Structure formats: C-alpha cells, structure tokens
C-alpha cells in the first residue's frame, strides 16, 4: 500500500528553524518561526499558566472521558473573553474546545462541508500558509482575495471590497481578527463596519481566525471585529487559539465558536459539531483548556495573565520602534515606518527573496522567503547587527 507514496518537503518555516539551529555563527538571528521570545530568546511558560497548572494537578480527580465539546468551563469563559461577559450574542452561539487553533480551523472546514459541500473558502492574499493547505486537504476549494498593498505596506481595503463584491452567497470569507499573519496589517474599526455591511448585503459567511487576541492593541480592542460582526450578522464562524496569548503552543488548545441566528440553531450546531468531532478525534485534549478555565475563573490569575500578556505586547511594540529607529539611522533610501503601524509578531520587511537569501547566507539572519519577520526574535543585543545586515543587502 505504501509504495505509491513519495517523501514530501518539510514545512518551509520549520525547515528554517532546523537550518538556524545548525548555524554556528554566534551572531545568528532567528526571525522565522512564529513563537514569542523574550529578550534572552526564550519562550517561557507564563507564570499564570504555571500556577494554574499546579492547581489543576493538585485538584484533578479523574482522567475519565469528557464530551466531544471538550471542557465546558473553558468553552463558556472563552466565549466571554471573545465577546464580553454581558454580550447578548452569548445566547446564540456555541463554543467547543479543539486541538489548537489549527484543529478549530479543520473543524470549521468540516462544518462548512456539511452545510455547503461546494463552498469556496476565500482567504486573504497573502495569508498564513497553512490556511490554504488545510482547507484544500479538507476537500474545499480555496481562492484568495486582494488584501495587502505591497507598495504601501498596508491593507488594500478598496481592492479587498471590490474583490469581495463578487463572492456568492454560501461561500466563506476568512479574515484574520487581529495581528494579520504574515503582514501585521489589520482592518480599522471603520473598515470592519464596512466589511460587515458587505457580508450582510452579499450573504457570504465570515470565518474569523483569531490566533492572537491580546497581541495587537489589547484584549478588548483586538476583539472589535469578532464582536461587531457577531452583533450585526446572523451567522459567524470564529476560531481561537491558546497557543500564543497563553503561550501553550504544545498543549494544543483552541476553540471553534459558531454564532447562529438564534439559540435553537446554536444548539443544533452544537450537536452537529460534536458529531464531527466524534468522527475525527472523539474528544479534544482538555489539559490546556482546564488551565485556561482556571485562569479565567480566578480574578488573581486573570490579572496576572493580563499583565504578562501586556508585557509581551509592549515588548513587540517596542521592538518594532527599535528596528525602525536603527534602520532609519543607517539609511534614508527606504522608509520602514510602516513597521510601527502594524500589529502582532509579524511584518514583511519588503525585500526580495534574493535579498532574504543573502541575509541568511552572508549574515545568518533567518526569515521566511517572503521577507516575513517574527519581530519577537529581535532584542537589544542583536538589533544593531540585524540593522547593519539589512542595510547591506538593500
């Protein structure tokens, strides 16, 4: 049976990580894989997570099965974190625990197939590489719409709206709720409102991928798009991830939220999505979800977590400013100020694949071919070296 298979290339971003590990240059800089790093290059366990985990271990009494919806406490608290504790939308939504944000996207794909097997999923151009692969692998057609204006390093909102006007009812439009990966270019509140109007008029269903709540402007501000769309549209799909904002990458915790026209439909969705889960993995892992449940259920741990999240967010903002300052001090050929107007861990530096290759081969500076940088890989020790290297390849 296996003789028909051929080896597949490794994921390019993970491949970059391997190449970085092997590089013996003491000045090497890793701006590749999308994980948060501290000033000393570590990705530590957040204090709130470590404390909640200890509490979980001390109080857990059974490892018996849970339902296909996962951890009920987590599902409830996560929906409140996204929409706000008093939002009436809570009465017409259903949230289930999933294995990470990726698992949530795959569950969304399976749900879309049950509703509209022929639906096309429209993704931003560019988008997180796994979006296209994941929806295609699930058997859906994936097409992209204009999103990022490379010349001006911002959202091409007019182009995006023009493209979306042609999308038929029943198709799904995927947008990043905040901290667009890979560009860092997000919609303004006015743009979210205009997008909602268009979705209402055209009848397509938005699918919001929120992998970075709290990494952009703040927990509340980053949820503007999901809240506005949920409040103004009858239906919405939303995927969230605990990988980045709780730093629980390997615990695989995420959620799929389905907003329906009313509570009765939300209950139907709950039964359908649990049936989907039962057929794929039966039930999600809940260790990570239980930890988040403990944090969000405790005023003290929530405050600590929010403080740690604010520190991560603040550090990324500061690194954006630091890089721009260093680059502008060395040259005036290219304006990099757009980097400070973008959010989350990523931005395109805006150089060619050939220049990216030179950065890697001549200076051991690693970033994705598209020139997407993970800004969290910068620190006060490597910033001058990095800026020197970039200016040399410009």
Residues interacting with ligand PMP, by CB under 6 A? Answer: 34, 100-102, 128, 176, 181, 209, 211, 241, 243, 249, 254
Choose between 212 and 363: whose C-beta lies nearer to ligand PMP: 212
Shortest approach of ligand PMP to residue 197 CB, angstroms? 25
The three-state secondary structure class of 256 is strand
Choose between 100 and 247: whose C-beta lies nearer to ligand PMP: 100
Residue 244 among the catalytic residues: yes
Structural contact between residues 239 and 255, judged by C-beta atoms closer than 8 angstroms: yes
Choose between 196 and 284: whose C-beta lies nearer to ligand PMP: 284
Residue 273, both tokens: 């999505």
Shortest approach of ligand PMP to residue 103 CB, angstroms? 7
**Annotated catalytic residue, options 30, 37, 122, 128:** 128
Give Cα 75 distance to the centre of its chain: 18
Choose between 238 and 378: whose C-beta lies nearer to ligand PMP: 238
The three-state secondary structure class of 121 is strand
Choose between 34 and 284: whose C-beta lies nearer to ligand PMP: 34
Structural contact between residues 215 and 316, judged by C-beta atoms closer than 8 angstroms: yes
Q: What are phi and psi of 348, to 5 degrees?
A: -85, 135
- What is the DSSP code (8-state) at residue 44? P
Residue 209 among the catalytic residues: yes
Determine if residue 312 is left, alpha or beta; phi over 0 gives left, psi from -120 to 50 gives alpha, anything else beta: alpha
The three-state secondary structure class of 240 is strand
Sign, CA dihedral 104-248-286-307, equals: negative
**Annotated catalytic residue, options 71, 209, 222, 293:** 209
Give Cα 10 distance to the centre of its chain: 21
Choose between 199 and 208: whose C-beta lies nearer to ligand PMP: 208
Shortest approach of ligand PMP to residue 100 CB, angstroms? 3
Give Cα 356 distance to the centre of its chain: 24
Shortest approach of ligand PMP to residue 111 CB, angstroms? 17
Distances from the Cα of 180 to the Cαs of 78, 129, 228, in angstroms?
A: 21, 12, 18
Shortest approach of ligand PMP to residue 98 CB, angstroms? 9
**Annotated catalytic residue, options 77, 244, 326, 360:** 244
Question: CA dihedral defined by 136, 141, 146, 150, rounded to 10 degrees?
Answer: 30
Choose between 44 and 263: whose C-beta lies nearer to ligand PMP: 44
Shortest approach of ligand PMP to residue 314 CB, angstroms? 20
Contacts of 353 (CB under 8 A, 6+ apart): 369, 370, 371
Residue 119, both tokens: 């639906």
Number of Cβ within 10 Å of residue 354's Cβ equals 10
Q: What is the rounded distance in angstroms from the CA atom of residue 373 to the CA atom of residue 34?
A: 9
Choose between 101 and 184: whose C-beta lies nearer to ligand PMP: 101
Shortest approach of ligand PMP to residue 250 CB, angstroms? 9
- What is the DSSP code (8-state) at residue 348? E
Q: What is the rounded distance in angstroms from the CA atom of residue 80 to the CA atom of residue 276?
A: 24
Shortest approach of ligand PMP to residue 127 CB, angstroms? 8
- The residues assigned a catalytic role are 128, 209, 244
């Amino acid at each position: 049976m296996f003789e028909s298979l051929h080896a597949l290339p490794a994921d390019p971003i993970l491949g970059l990580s391997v190449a970085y590990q092997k590089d013996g240059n003491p000045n090497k800089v890793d701006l590749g894989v999308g994980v948060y790093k501290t000033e000393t290059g570590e990705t530590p366990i957040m204090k709130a997570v470590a404390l909640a985990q200890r509490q979980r271990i001390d109080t857990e009494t059974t490892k018996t099965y849970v339902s296909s919806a996962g951890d009920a406490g987590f599902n409830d608290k996560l929906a409140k974190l996204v929409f706000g504790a008093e939002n009436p939308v809570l009465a017409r939504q259903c949230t289930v625990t999933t294995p990470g944000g990726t698992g949530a996207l795959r569950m969304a794909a399976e749900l879309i197939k049950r509703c509209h097997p022929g639906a096309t999923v429209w993704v931003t151009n560019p988008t997180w590489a796994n979006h296209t692969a994941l929806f295609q692998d699930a058997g859906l057609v994936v097409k992209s719409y204009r999103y990022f204006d490379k010349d001006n390093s911002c959202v091409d909102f007019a182009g995006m709206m023009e493209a979306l006007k042609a999308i038929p009812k029943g198709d799904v439009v995927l947008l990043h709720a905040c901290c667009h990966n890979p560009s860092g270019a997000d919609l303004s509140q006015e743009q979210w409102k205009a997008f909602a109007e268009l979705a209402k008029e055209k009848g397509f269903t938005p699918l919001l991928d929120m992998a970075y709540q709290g990494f952009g402007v703040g927990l509340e501000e980053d949820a503007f798009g999901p809240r506005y769309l949920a409040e103004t549209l009858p239906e919405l799909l939303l995927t969230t991830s605990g990988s980045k904002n709780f730093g629980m990458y390997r615990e695989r915790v995420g959620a799929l939220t389905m907003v329906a026209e009313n509570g009765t439909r939300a209950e139907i969705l709950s039964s359908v999505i649990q049936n989907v889960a039962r057929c794929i993995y039966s039930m999600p892992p809940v260790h990570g979800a239980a930890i988040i449940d403990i944090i969000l259920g405790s005023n003290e741990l929530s405050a600590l977590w929010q403080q740690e999240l604010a520190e991560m967010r603040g550090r990324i903002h500061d690194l954006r400013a630091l890089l721009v300052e260093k680059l502008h001090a060395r040259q005036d050929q290219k304006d990099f100020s757009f980097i400070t107007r973008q959010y989350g861990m990523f931005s395109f530096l805006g150089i060619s694949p050939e220049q990216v290759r030179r950065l890697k081969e001549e200076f051991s500076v690693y970033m994705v071919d598209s020139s997407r940088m993970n800004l969290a890989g910068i620190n006060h020790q490597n910033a001058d070296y990095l800026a020197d290297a970039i200016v040399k390849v410009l």
